[in-house]
C-alpha cells in the first residue's frame, strides 16, 4: 500500500474494520445462532427465516427514511465526522449488547440486531461519502475496490477465530457451550470493529462541505427540497440510482439471508460457515480484479458482468440440494460480490458534487436501503406463500433483470476532476 497516502489507507482500513460485522453478524454466525434460538422457542423454520427478513426490512426502512436528511445536515463543514462517530458507536455498542441477550429470547435478539444494523449501515453512509475527501476522481475505482478487498481479508481473521471457538466448544475441547461460544463471537466482532476504526477517526477529515447556516435542520430540509427541484440537472445520478435500487436489492438479500436459506436446505452449520469463509478468501482478489478491469473496459461493463453472474446464481439456487451445490453457488457469488459493490460506490462518487457528497450518498443509501426492504420481504413472502426457500431466492432474478435494463441508459462518467455540468452544486 506504499503508493497510497495516509488518508487513503485509513479510509480503506475501515472496510477492514466493519466487514467483520457484515460477515459475522449479518451473514454467518448471527443468523445461524438466531435460527437455533428460534427453533428452541418452537418457531417454525420457514417462519423464523421470514421474521429475520422482516427485521432486516424494518431496520433498513428506518435508515432509508433518515439517510438523505442526515446526509444533507452532514454536508455542513465539520458535521460528517460527528454523524459517522454516532452511528459507529451505536453499531459497536449494540453488537456488544448481543452478548447479554438470553439465549431463549429470540424477539429481544432481533430487536438488538436491528440496532446493530442501523449503526453499521448508518456509519457506512458517511464512510462512503468520505471517499471524495480522501482521493481523486481518477483513483476512486482503485481505492474503492481495494477497500472491499481489504474488507474480505480483514474480516476473515476474526471470523476464523470465531469459528475455532465454536468448533472447539462443539468438540468439548473448551468448557463453553455452543451458545456461549457464538455470543463470544459477537464480542470479538465489536472489538475488531472498534480497534481498526481508530485510523479513520484520526486521519480522515471532511475536506468539502457547505458553510453552516442558522437553524441548521430547517436549512437542511430547504437544501434537500432545492435538490429535488433541480432534479433535471442530476438526471444521470438518479437514473443510476434507479438501476442500483434493483440490482443491489438482490445482492444485499443474497448476502444477508444466505445462511438462513442454507439452513432451510438442511446444510450443517459447519458447511455453511466454511463456505462463507471461502467466499471471503476468493472475493478479495476478485474485488481487485473488478477494479483493474473497470479501468480497462469501463465500469458499466463490469457492472453488467456482476449482475449477469448474480442472475445465474438465482437460477442455480433452484437446484440446490447438497453442500457441494451450496459451495458452487458460494463461489459464483464470491466472483462478483465485492466488485459490484465497490464499483457501484466509486461510479456514484464520480457523478456527484463533492460539496454535497453526504446528501447524495444519503440518496444512495435511501435507494439501497429501500431496495433492502423489498428484497428480504419478497423472499420472506414467497417462502411463506410457497413453503419453498428456493422459489424465494429465484424471485430475485426479476430485480437483477430490471436493474440491468435501466443501467444501459446510464452514460459513462469521465474520470476528470472538473465536475460535469449536471453535477454542479446547488446552494
Give residue-wise pLDDT tens across range 190-244.
Answer: 999 999 999 999 999 888 766 666 666 666 666 666 666 655 677 888 889 889 9
Q: Which residues pair with 76 in a beta bridge?
A: 210
The whole domain housing 138 covers 6-207+215-423
Out of 76-90, 97-111, 317-331, least confident range:
317-331
Output the average pLDDT for the chain.
81
**Total domains present in the chain:** 1
CA distances from 305 to 87, 147, 294, 425 (A): 33, 20, 11, 33
Q: Is the pLDDT of residue 420 over 50?
A: no
Identify whether 1 is part of a domain: no
pLDDT at 126: 86
Question: 425: pLDDT confidence band, cut at 50, 70 and 90?
Answer: very low
Mean local confidence (pLDDT), 276-286: 84
pLDDT at 256: 64
Mean local confidence (pLDDT), 103-109: 85
Q: Is the pLDDT of residue 332 over 90?
A: no
pLDDT at 405: 94
Identify whether 185 is part of a domain: yes
Q: Is the pLDDT of residue 421 over 50?
A: no
Mean local confidence (pLDDT), 71-84: 78
Question: 426: pLDDT confidence band, cut at 50, 70 and 90?
Answer: very low
Can you read off the three cell numbers belonging to residue 387?
A: 413453503
The answer to whether the CB of 35 falls within 8 A of the CB of 109 is no
* Alpha-carbon 369 to chain mean position: 9
The answer to whether the CB of 112 falls within 8 A of the CB of 206 is no
Cα–Cα nearest to 362, from 67, 74, 87, 82: 67
Q: Is the pLDDT of residue 293 over 50?
A: yes
Identify whether 355 is part of a domain: yes
Out of 42-51, 126-135, 284-293, 416-425, least confident range:
416-425
pLDDT at 99: 93
pTM here is 0.73
Q: Is the pLDDT of residue 387 over 80?
A: no
Identify whether 172 is part of a domain: yes
- Across 207-216, 254-263, 300-309, the highest mean pLDDT is recorded for 300-309
Identify whether 324 is part of a domain: yes
CATH number of the CATH domain containing 55: 1.20.1250.20
Q: Is the pLDDT of residue 64 over 50?
A: yes
Amino acid at each position: 500500500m506504499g503508493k497510497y497516502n495516509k488518508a487513503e489507507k485509513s479510509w480503506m482500513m475501515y472496510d477492514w474494520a466493519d466487514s467483520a460485522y457484515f460477515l459475522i453478524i449479518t451473514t454467518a454466525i448471527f443468523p445461524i445462532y438466531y435460527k437455533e434460538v428460534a427453533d428452541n422457542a418452537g418457531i417454525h423454520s420457514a417462519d423464523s427465516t421470514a421474521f429475520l427478513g422482516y427485521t432486516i426490512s424494518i431496520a433498513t426502512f428506518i435508515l432509508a427514511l433518515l439517510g438523505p436528511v442526515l446526509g444533507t445536515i452532514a454536508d455542513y463543514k465539520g458535521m460528517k465526522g460527528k454523524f459517522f462517530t454516532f452511528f459507529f458507536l451505536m453499531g459497536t455498542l449494540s453488537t456488544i449488547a448481543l452478548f447479554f441477550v438470553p439465549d431463549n429470547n429470540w424477539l429481544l435478539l432481533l430487536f438488538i440486531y436491528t440496532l446493530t444494523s442501523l449503526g453499521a449501515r448508518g456509519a457506512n453512509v458517511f464512510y462512503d461519502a468520505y471517499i471524495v475527501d480522501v482521493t481523486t476522481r481518477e483513483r476512486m475505482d482503485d481505492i474503492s475496490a481495494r477497500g472491499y478487498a481489504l474488507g474480505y481479508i480483514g474480516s476473515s481473521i476474526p471470523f476464523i477465530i470465531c469459528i475455532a471457538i465454536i468448533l472447539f466448544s462443539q468438540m468439548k475441547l473448551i468448557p463453553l457451550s455452543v451458545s456461549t461460544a457464538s455470543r463470544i463471537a459477537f464480542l470479538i466482532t465489536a472489538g475488531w470493529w472498534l480497534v481498526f476504526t481508530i485510523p479513520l477517526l484520526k486521519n480522515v477529515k471532511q475536506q468539502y462541505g457547505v458553510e453552516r447556516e442558522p437553524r441548521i435542520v430547517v436549512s437542511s430540509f430547504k437544501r434537500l427540497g432545492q435538490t429535488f427541484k433541480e432534479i433535471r440537472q442530476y438526471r444521470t445520478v438518479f437514473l443510476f440510482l434507479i438501476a442500483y435500487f434493483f440490482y443491489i436489492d438482490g445482492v444485499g438479500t443474497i448476502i444477508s439471508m444466505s445462511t438462513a436459506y442454507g439452513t432451510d436446505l438442511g446444510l450443517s452449520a459447519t458447511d455453511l460457515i466454511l463456505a462463507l469463509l471461502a467466499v471471503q478468501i476468493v472475493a478479495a482478489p476478485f474485488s481487485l480484479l473488478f477494479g483493474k478491469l473497470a479501468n480497462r473496459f469501463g465500469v458499466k461493463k463490469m457492472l453488467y458482468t456482476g449482475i449477469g453472474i448474480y442472475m445465474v446464481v438465482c437460477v442455480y439456487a433452484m437446484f440446490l440440494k447438497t453442500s457441494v451445490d451450496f459451495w458452487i453457488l458460494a463461489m459464483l457469488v464470491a466472483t462478483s460480490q465485492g466488485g459490484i459493490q465497490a464499483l457501484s460506490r466509486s461510479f456514484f462518487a464520480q457523478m456527484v458534487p463533492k460539496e454535497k457528497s453526504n446528501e447524495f450518498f444519503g440518496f444512495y443509501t435511501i435507494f439501497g436501503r429501500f431496495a433492502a426492504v423489498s428484497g428480504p420481504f419478497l423472499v420472506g413472502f414467497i417462502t411463506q406463500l410457497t413453503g419453498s426457500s428456493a422459489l424465494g431466492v429465484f424471485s430475485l432474478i426479476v430485480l437483477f433483470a430490471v436493474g440491468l435494463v435501466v443501467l444501459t441508459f446510464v452514460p459513462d462518467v469521465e474520470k476528470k476532476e472538473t465536475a460535469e455540468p449536471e453535477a454542479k452544486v446547488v446552494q
